[in-house]
Structure 1
Amino acid sequence: MDIFTILFIVVLGVLYISSRISQLEKKMDLRMKRLEAFITKDKHDAFFQYEEEVKDELKQLVKDGENVKAVKKAREHFGFSLLEAKQYVDSLH
Protein backbone atom coordinates (compact mmCIF):
# COMPACT_ATOMS: atom_id res chain seq x y z
CA MET A 1 0.00 0.00 0.00
CA ASP A 2 1.27 3.41 -0.78
CA ILE A 3 1.03 6.47 1.43
CA PHE A 4 -1.86 8.02 -0.54
CA THR A 5 -4.08 4.98 -0.05
CA ILE A 6 -3.43 4.99 3.69
CA LEU A 7 -4.03 8.74 3.85
CA PHE A 8 -7.29 8.34 1.90
CA ILE A 9 -8.52 5.64 4.28
CA VAL A 10 -7.63 7.77 7.32
CA VAL A 11 -9.47 10.80 5.89
CA LEU A 12 -12.57 8.69 5.18
CA GLY A 13 -12.46 7.34 8.72
CA VAL A 14 -12.21 10.82 10.21
CA LEU A 15 -15.11 12.05 8.07
CA TYR A 16 -17.26 9.09 9.10
CA ILE A 17 -16.51 9.58 12.80
CA SER A 18 -17.19 13.31 12.51
CA SER A 19 -20.53 12.65 10.82
CA ARG A 20 -21.53 10.08 13.44
CA ILE A 21 -20.63 12.43 16.31
CA SER A 22 -22.75 15.15 14.71
CA GLN A 23 -25.72 12.77 14.47
CA LEU A 24 -25.35 11.75 18.09
CA GLU A 25 -25.13 15.38 19.23
CA LYS A 26 -28.35 16.18 17.38
CA LYS A 27 -30.05 13.14 18.92
CA MET A 28 -28.93 14.12 22.43
CA ASP A 29 -30.08 17.71 21.93
CA LEU A 30 -33.56 16.53 20.91
CA ARG A 31 -33.74 14.19 23.88
CA MET A 32 -32.66 16.90 26.30
CA LYS A 33 -35.30 19.31 24.99
CA ARG A 34 -37.92 16.59 25.26
CA LEU A 35 -36.84 15.76 28.81
CA GLU A 36 -36.87 19.42 29.84
CA ALA A 37 -40.38 19.86 28.42
CA PHE A 38 -41.54 16.73 30.24
CA ILE A 39 -39.99 17.76 33.56
CA THR A 40 -41.37 21.29 33.48
CA LYS A 41 -44.63 20.24 31.80
CA ASP A 42 -44.63 23.71 30.29
CA LYS A 43 -47.53 23.72 27.84
CA HIS A 44 -46.17 26.91 26.29
CA ASP A 45 -42.78 25.38 25.60
CA ALA A 46 -42.14 25.51 21.86
CA PHE A 47 -40.71 22.00 21.80
CA PHE A 48 -43.75 20.63 23.65
CA GLN A 49 -46.06 22.21 21.08
CA TYR A 50 -43.88 20.87 18.25
CA GLU A 51 -44.03 17.39 19.77
CA GLU A 52 -47.82 17.58 19.99
CA GLU A 53 -48.04 18.56 16.30
CA VAL A 54 -45.80 15.67 15.27
CA LYS A 55 -47.74 13.32 17.55
CA ASP A 56 -51.00 14.28 15.84
CA GLU A 57 -49.39 13.69 12.45
CA LEU A 58 -48.11 10.30 13.59
CA LYS A 59 -51.55 9.34 14.90
CA GLN A 60 -53.03 10.16 11.50
CA LEU A 61 -50.42 8.02 9.74
CA VAL A 62 -51.21 5.11 12.09
CA LYS A 63 -54.92 5.60 11.49
CA ASP A 64 -54.26 5.46 7.73
CA GLY A 65 -52.32 2.22 8.16
CA GLU A 66 -48.95 3.85 7.42
CA ASN A 67 -47.07 2.48 10.43
CA VAL A 68 -43.72 2.31 8.62
CA LYS A 69 -43.97 5.97 7.61
CA ALA A 70 -44.96 6.87 11.16
CA VAL A 71 -41.92 5.07 12.59
CA LYS A 72 -39.65 6.77 10.06
CA LYS A 73 -41.09 10.20 10.89
CA ALA A 74 -40.72 9.56 14.64
CA ARG A 75 -37.07 8.67 14.10
CA GLU A 76 -36.47 11.81 12.04
CA HIS A 77 -38.22 14.22 14.39
CA PHE A 78 -37.27 12.84 17.79
CA GLY A 79 -33.97 11.09 17.09
CA PHE A 80 -35.28 7.74 18.31
CA SER A 81 -33.64 4.44 17.56
CA LEU A 82 -35.69 2.07 15.44
CA LEU A 83 -36.95 0.19 18.51
CA GLU A 84 -37.78 3.40 20.40
CA ALA A 85 -39.68 4.79 17.42
CA LYS A 86 -41.63 1.56 16.98
CA GLN A 87 -42.57 1.54 20.67
CA TYR A 88 -43.56 5.21 20.51
CA VAL A 89 -45.77 4.66 17.47
CA ASP A 90 -47.31 1.56 19.05
CA SER A 91 -48.17 3.61 22.13
CA LEU A 92 -50.25 5.97 19.95
CA HIS A 93 -52.88 3.30 19.17
Structure 2
Amino acid sequence: MEYTFVSVVLIIFIYLTFKVNKLEQNVKQMKHTLEQVTKGGEILEHSVDDRLYELIQEGKDIKAIKEAREALGLSLLEGKEYVEALKDKINNS
Protein backbone atom coordinates (compact mmCIF):
# COMPACT_ATOMS: atom_id res chain seq x y z
CA MET A 1 0.00 0.00 0.00
CA GLU A 2 2.85 2.37 0.85
CA TYR A 3 4.58 1.67 -2.47
CA THR A 4 1.39 2.43 -4.36
CA PHE A 5 1.04 5.79 -2.63
CA VAL A 6 4.68 6.66 -3.27
CA SER A 7 4.32 5.62 -6.92
CA VAL A 8 1.25 7.80 -7.37
CA VAL A 9 2.99 10.78 -5.76
CA LEU A 10 6.04 10.23 -7.96
CA ILE A 11 3.92 10.06 -11.13
CA ILE A 12 2.08 13.24 -10.16
CA PHE A 13 5.40 14.98 -9.47
CA ILE A 14 6.82 13.95 -12.86
CA TYR A 15 3.64 15.06 -14.63
CA LEU A 16 3.64 18.44 -12.90
CA THR A 17 7.33 18.93 -13.65
CA PHE A 18 6.66 18.24 -17.33
CA LYS A 19 3.77 20.71 -17.36
CA VAL A 20 5.82 23.44 -15.66
CA ASN A 21 8.62 23.01 -18.21
CA LYS A 22 6.10 23.27 -21.06
CA LEU A 23 4.62 26.43 -19.56
CA GLU A 24 8.09 27.94 -19.18
CA GLN A 25 8.75 27.31 -22.89
CA ASN A 26 5.47 28.97 -23.82
CA VAL A 27 6.17 31.98 -21.62
CA LYS A 28 9.66 32.33 -23.10
CA GLN A 29 8.22 32.34 -26.62
CA MET A 30 5.51 34.86 -25.71
CA LYS A 31 8.10 37.10 -24.05
CA HIS A 32 10.23 37.04 -27.20
CA THR A 33 7.25 37.94 -29.38
CA LEU A 34 6.12 40.66 -26.98
CA GLU A 35 9.59 42.22 -26.96
CA GLN A 36 9.55 42.41 -30.75
CA VAL A 37 6.09 43.98 -30.79
CA THR A 38 6.93 46.56 -28.12
CA LYS A 39 10.03 47.63 -30.02
CA GLY A 40 7.72 48.70 -32.82
CA GLY A 41 9.08 46.18 -35.26
CA GLU A 42 7.25 43.50 -37.05
CA ILE A 43 7.41 39.99 -35.72
CA LEU A 44 10.49 38.53 -37.33
CA GLU A 45 10.98 34.94 -38.29
CA HIS A 46 12.21 32.70 -35.55
CA SER A 47 15.85 31.70 -35.59
CA VAL A 48 14.76 28.07 -35.88
CA ASP A 49 13.02 28.75 -39.22
CA ASP A 50 16.21 28.35 -41.25
CA ARG A 51 16.66 24.84 -39.86
CA LEU A 52 12.99 24.07 -40.48
CA TYR A 53 13.25 25.26 -44.09
CA GLU A 54 16.17 22.85 -44.58
CA LEU A 55 14.22 19.93 -43.14
CA ILE A 56 11.15 20.75 -45.25
CA GLN A 57 13.21 20.91 -48.42
CA GLU A 58 14.73 17.51 -47.52
CA GLY A 59 11.20 16.10 -47.15
CA LYS A 60 11.59 15.63 -43.40
CA ASP A 61 8.33 17.26 -42.34
CA ILE A 62 7.89 15.14 -39.21
CA LYS A 63 11.37 16.04 -37.96
CA ALA A 64 10.61 19.71 -38.75
CA ILE A 65 7.41 19.52 -36.70
CA LYS A 66 9.30 17.93 -33.82
CA GLU A 67 12.01 20.60 -33.86
CA ALA A 68 9.44 23.40 -34.15
CA ARG A 69 7.59 22.01 -31.15
CA GLU A 70 10.76 21.77 -29.08
CA ALA A 71 12.12 25.19 -30.02
CA LEU A 72 8.86 27.12 -29.86
CA GLY A 73 6.95 25.21 -27.20
CA LEU A 74 4.09 24.30 -29.53
CA SER A 75 1.51 21.56 -29.30
CA LEU A 76 1.50 18.86 -31.97
CA LEU A 77 -1.27 20.60 -33.90
CA GLU A 78 0.42 24.00 -33.60
CA GLY A 79 3.73 22.53 -34.74
CA LYS A 80 2.08 20.94 -37.77
CA GLU A 81 0.31 24.19 -38.65
CA TYR A 82 3.56 26.13 -38.24
CA VAL A 83 5.46 23.81 -40.57
CA GLU A 84 2.59 23.84 -43.08
CA ALA A 85 2.69 27.66 -43.06
CA LEU A 86 6.44 27.54 -43.79
CA LYS A 87 5.81 25.06 -46.62
CA ASP A 88 3.18 27.39 -48.09
CA LYS A 89 5.63 30.26 -47.84
CA ILE A 90 8.22 28.23 -49.77
CA ASN A 91 5.70 27.24 -52.43
CA ASN A 92 4.46 30.82 -52.89
CA SER A 93 7.96 32.23 -53.26
- TM-score using structure 1 length: 0.71
Question: Structure 2 vs 1, CA of residues 38 and 69 (structure 1 numbering), >3 Å: closer, same or farther?
Answer: farther
Matches within 5 A, 1:8-47: 8-40=7-39, 41=41
**1:80 counterpart = 2:80:** no
Residues 55, 61 of structure 2: 8 Å contact kept: yes
Residues 27, 80 of structure 1: 8 Å contact kept: yes
Q: Which amino acid aligns with 2:54?
A: Q
Question: Structure 2 vs 1, CA of residues 31 and 6 (structure 1 numbering), >3 Å: closer, same or farther?
Answer: same
Question: Structure 2 vs 1, CA of residues 4 and 70 (structure 1 numbering), >3 Å: closer, same or farther?
Answer: closer
Rounded Cα–Cα distance in structure 2 between residues aligned with 1:11 and 1:57:
37
State how many pairs are aligned.
Answer: 86
Deviation at 1:38, TM superposition (A): 4.2
- TM-score using structure 2 length: 0.71
Match of 1:69 in 2: 63
Contiguous gaps of at least 5 residues in structure 2: 88-93
Match of 1:5 in 2: 4
From the two aligned structures, give the one with the greater helix fraction: 1
Moved over 4 A (4+): none
Deviation at 1:4, TM superposition (A): 4.8
Rounded Cα–Cα distance in structure 2 between residues aligned with 1:38 and 1:85:
22
Percent identity between the two aligned chains = 31
SS at match of 1:92: helix
